[in-house]
Amino acid sequence: MLSGFQNASRVPELRRRVLFALGMLAVYRLGVHVPTPGIDRAAMAAFFDQQKNTLFGFLNLFSGGALEQFSVFSLGIMPYISASIILQLLTVVFPYLERLSKEGEVGRRKITQYTRYGTVLLSIVQGTMIAIGLEGTQGPGGTPLVLNPGVAFRFMTVVTLTSGTAFIMWLGEQITERGIGNGMSLIIFAGIVARLPSAIWSTFEFMRNGELGPLVALVILVLSVAIIAAIIFVERGQRRIPVQYAKRVVGRRMYGGMTSHLPLKVNTANVIPIIFASSVLIFPATMAQFAAHPWIQTISGMLAPGQWLYEIAQMALIIFFAFFYTAVVFNPSDVAENMKKAGGYIPGIRPGQKTAEFIEKVLSRITLSGAVYLCLIALLPSLLVQQFNVPFYFGGTALLIVVGVGLDTVAQMETHLISRNYEGFMKRGRLRGRKG
């Protein structure tokens, strides 16, 4: 591993990409500490001290502490994710968007542009609702969170939060294009990692005060290690379908006659279903938090992390997005057609439509297994730890995002190294668990 990082520093292009990504993440972390005007920060901090294990604590974790300070980045990247979800769903409904998705780079840029417009629109809506809700919210001692309520405060808040989200979106796109890894995922990764030191310190404080026993802390540590190990194992898991290529003669040369395989990841969608499901649940629950009607407050409480309605809704959304995203990124018919053109076939399966049906059948089974794995990782640790009254939001969701994004980023760095004849982060230039 250490030699891999040393080799990474020897490749000028990779070094520039890594430093650029780190620089953009540093800018993001600086922006988290820039406050939005018109907010009593002391009252806001006291308010969040009472909301650590609620939806607000969950939102604060994803924003890297920006919501607790109500900074210019309080909305975080969630409006962008919500806009992406809506646009992908509309792609299935509208033929125009479907054609754009198949037009290569030009179509991708057009869809990206529509996503930006949707992000700004959702940011305006969320910013307006939050500004109105904050005006009627008070801190623990009855101190108003907003210093000077009114139209001016609402307008300033909407403009500030929308601009912050647009800037985060730009940072993510710059990291993806000029840095290393997926920019949006790395921003979420940076926000979660930034909260871990304070969470660990809180744990030690509770242990010192006697509110958290050493045995419980040990259980949490062991559980975290077990989850990380399970994530790494499953994320590198593959279902390999054997593919045989027939011999063919071109001129004086003979091609084919070899055996290969078609690798299908157990978790093809990676962390996308978790992020999408969280984003869908966060938006209505956040809006409901600021409503005064009792029945809306009841529903909002049921949608808080740890509640049975939240857990059921999250599992259903994770399974849905796992199948939906897999269908978007992997088309069995195209794979079967390309395999047929190359003279390849699956032993015992007729090339063409039968091959596509077989691949789709296998893909559906492993996608279901991957979705169940995501549900367990996201929900089971949260349910177990909540019984121990842990003083911070802990769950498999955060660990899955951190480990998944970390593995994908390291894999991209390894690709750069191997393409330049450098040894990667693991022996023989392969990540642990990767075969072939």
Whose tokens are 């157990």? That residue is 266
Q: Are 203 and 197 in contact (CB under 8 A)?
A: no
Residue 300 pLDDT exceeds 70: no
Residue 429 pLDDT exceeds 50: no
Rounded mean pLDDT of the chain?
Answer: 79
More confident residue, 75 or 56: 75
- pTM exceeding the 0.85 threshold for the entire prediction: no
Question: What's the CATH number for 2-429?
Answer: 1.10.3370.10
Residue 248 pairs in a beta bridge with 255
pLDDT tens across 309-356, in order?
A: 878 888 899 999 899 888 878 888 888 888 888 778 888 888 888 999
- At 351 the pLDDT is 86
**Cα–Cα distance list, 94 to 91, 99, 122, 377 (Å):** 6, 9, 21, 34
Percent of the chain with pLDDT over 70: 78
Q: Are 36 and 71 in contact (CB under 8 A)?
A: yes
Q: How confident is the model at residue 434 (pLDDT cuts 50, 70, 90)?
A: very low
Mean pLDDT of 374-387: 71
Q: Are 8 and 419 in contact (CB under 8 A)?
A: no
Q: Where are the domains of the chain?
A: 2-429
pLDDT tens across 99-135, in order?
A: 887 777 788 888 889 999 999 999 998 888 888 878 8
Handedness of CA 338, 343, 344, 350 (dihedral sign): positive
138-159 residues labelled b (16+ CB within 10 A) or e (exposed) = ebeeeebbbeebeeebbebbbe
Residue 182, SS3 per DSSP: coil
Q: Which H or E element spans position 248?
A: strand 248-250
Which range, of 62-66, 105-109, 225-229, averages the lowest pLDDT? 62-66
* Rg, C-alpha atoms of the chain: 24
